[in-house]
Amino acid sequence: MLKTDDLTIITHKGRKLLEHFSFVLNEGDKIALIGEEGNGKSTILKILAGIDVSDYVSIEGRVEKDGKVGYLPQRIDPNDLEKDVLSYIDEQMDYNRLYSLLGKIDIDGQLLDARPLKSLSGGEKVRIALLKILYEDPDILLLDEPSNDLDLKTLLWLEDFIMNTRLPLIFVSHDETLLDHCANGILHLEQLKRKSEAHITFAALPYEEYLESREMFISRNNKIAVKEKAQFQKQLEKWRKIYQKVEHRQNTISRGDPHGGQLLKKKMHAVKAQGRNLEAKKEKLTRLYEPEEAIDVFFDEIRMNPNKVILDLKIPELKAGGKKLAEEISLKVFGKDKVCIIGDNGTGKSTLIKAIYEALKERKDISLGYMPQDYAEKMDPDSSCIGFLWDGKSLEGRSRVQTFLGTLKFTAEEMEHPLSGLSEGQKCKLFFAKLILDRNDVLLLDEPTRNLSPLSGPAIRKILDDFGGCIIAVSHDRKFIQEVADRLCQLQDGRLKALD
């Protein structure tokens, strides 16, 4: 069992991430922690795991744990990446215990060789990290974005693992399909009123049911709030007229009518009492629920000739670090195509995207926008959000950038943050902002939705689906593949094959 009692978390800059939160994780619970980028989901998981975060937040309340917690961080410690797999799991290995767990993680024993952890694929690292956690025999699991960097095959394995583990768990994931399939409860973390108020909702519901229930609640609540406010305004207006009438009579009554003056004084006393009752009633009115809004952005109209040849790529050999990944690559893409390249991790998808970028970057007849998987390729960590988007030429341009960042739910303070201090999801939103502001008509996207919250994901997929230009993307996001792509190509077994 894991329990929070009146837990409040405040950043050293004064922003509340959580306020007076009490919750119990029970046996059989598979709870998804969701919320927009930068809302503190990872910080909360660390606190629940007992990790010291006092350098950037203060904590009030208690966290109680009955048993051992197994915590999967968003990223493996860089020092651990230098270790070989067995040393990472345990320096004093109990091999009988280790091999008894391999089936639960579906790990090929060949991964337990002397290779350093850093040489493994994203999916292999997640499996090894989970193996290490299970080796330590936990009673509770806390998983921070275990679905990041996983290919489709490994995502299916992860779903199966979460659904079938006997351990209660809380997990953060941006993969909506994973949430749909695995979660039996939702913790929804929101930052309301321009991130000045923390709000968290718990619902013992699967993800899709939670979204439906939430929409119904907001609609019903706000209808009641509007009706109550209208009725209250009528009562208030009626009271004001009575108050003004009595006040006027008090101001005009003759001094020669002391009895009438006494009656008016009593009347005013009663009217003021009614006013105080109305003030008390106002505090009890149903309040409009203004949820943390989804981002509201769109591309300007792009008109691309559907017959225009955007890419006619032929690569005899696709290599990375001297290693041949694929051969005889051929890909032809036209003006309004939305092509998604899929395949297992390690097959060379990101290498192929980079090759496509090199083939297109000097073209003068297109406006190319490129979002790499590793944002550091195109981001100066010391630059601010405004600096990343603004060309520095005019104050009007700066103002437009600030307005645009506001639609992406960046606060004025966050707009001036160095990029190094932002969450990966916030960096992802910045890339989309740049693609839109630059009016690119060809988008080259490597895992574009991997760091977006499940609440921002639908909005981004919608603008990409409506986009009038060309998209060439790599993705494992099943919702993206279904809703955006109109052509699928699979990079597998050293070949790029078109899928019907």
pLDDT tens for 185-218 read 999 998 877 667 788 999 999 999 999 998 888 8
Cβ proximity of 102 and 115 under 8 Å: no
Q: What is the pLDDT of residues 383-420, one digit of tens each?
A: 999 999 988 888 888 988 998 888 777 888 888 888 98
2-206 and 309-499 agree in CATH topology: yes
**CATH ID of 309-499, from 3.40.630.30, 3.40.50.300, 3.30.470.30, 2.60.40.420:** 3.40.50.300
The CA-atom distances, in angstroms, between 431 and each of 137, 389, 424 are: 41, 9, 11
Which percentage of the chain shows pLDDT scores above 90? Answer: 47
Asked whether the predicted pLDDT for residue 38 surpasses 80, the reply is no
Residue predicted with more confidence, 141 or 455: 141
Q: What is the mean pLDDT of the chain?
A: 88
The residue-averaged pLDDT of 238-266 equals 84
Residues 406, 203: Cα–Cα separation, whole Å: 30
Strands (E), 321-449: 323-334, 338-342, 368-371, 442-446
Q: What is the Cα 90 distance to its own chain's centre? A: 33
Cβ proximity of 477 and 450 under 8 Å: yes
Q: What is the pLDDT of residues 347-369, one digit of tens each?
A: 899 999 999 999 999 999 999 99
The residue-averaged pLDDT of 412-437 equals 86
Strands (E), 350-492: 368-371, 442-446, 470-474, 487-492
Print burial letters for 272-297: b (CB count within 10 Å at least 16), e (below 16): eeeeeeeeeeeeeeeeeeeebebbeb
Q: What is the pLDDT confidence band of residue 293, given thresholds at 50, 70 and 90?
A: low
Q: At what angle do helices 207-252 and 258-284 cross, to 10 degrees?
A: 170
Q: Which H helix or E strand runs over 245?
A: helix 207-252
Residues 272, 124: Cα–Cα separation, whole Å: 72
Picking from 150, 146, 88, the residue whose alpha carbon sits closest to that of residue 113 is 88
Residues 179, 159: Cα–Cα separation, whole Å: 9
Question: Rounded to 5 degrees, what angle do the CA atoms 68, 170, 63 make?
Answer: 55
SS3 content of the chain, % helix, strand, coil (to 5): 45, 25, 35
Residues 423, 64: Cα–Cα separation, whole Å: 28
Q: What is the Cα 425 distance to its own chain's centre? A: 6
Q: Quick one: tokens of 311?
A: 């890419």
Asked whether the predicted pLDDT for residue 422 surpasses 70, the reply is yes
Cβ proximity of 140 and 2 under 8 Å: yes
Residues 306, 335: Cα–Cα separation, whole Å: 4
Residue listed under structure tokens 């709870």: 31
How, if at all, do strands 487-492 and 368-371 pair?
Answer: unpaired
Residues 321, 469: Cα–Cα separation, whole Å: 33
Q: Which H helix or E strand runs over 34?
A: strand 30-35
Give residue 189's region: left, alpha or beta (phi > 0; psi -120 to 50).
beta
Residues 234, 228: Cα–Cα separation, whole Å: 10
103 SS3 class = helix
Residues 461, 475: Cα–Cα separation, whole Å: 12
Asked whether the predicted pLDDT for residue 486 surpasses 70, the reply is yes
Question: Rounded to 5 degrees, what angle do the CA atoms 25, 126, 483 make?
Answer: 85
47-56, 180-189, 254-263, 309-318, range with the lowest pLDDT: 254-263
How is the chain split into domains, by residue range?
Answer: 2-206, 216-284, 309-499
Q: Which H helix or E strand runs over 140?
A: strand 140-144
Q: Which CATH class is domain 2-206?
A: alpha beta
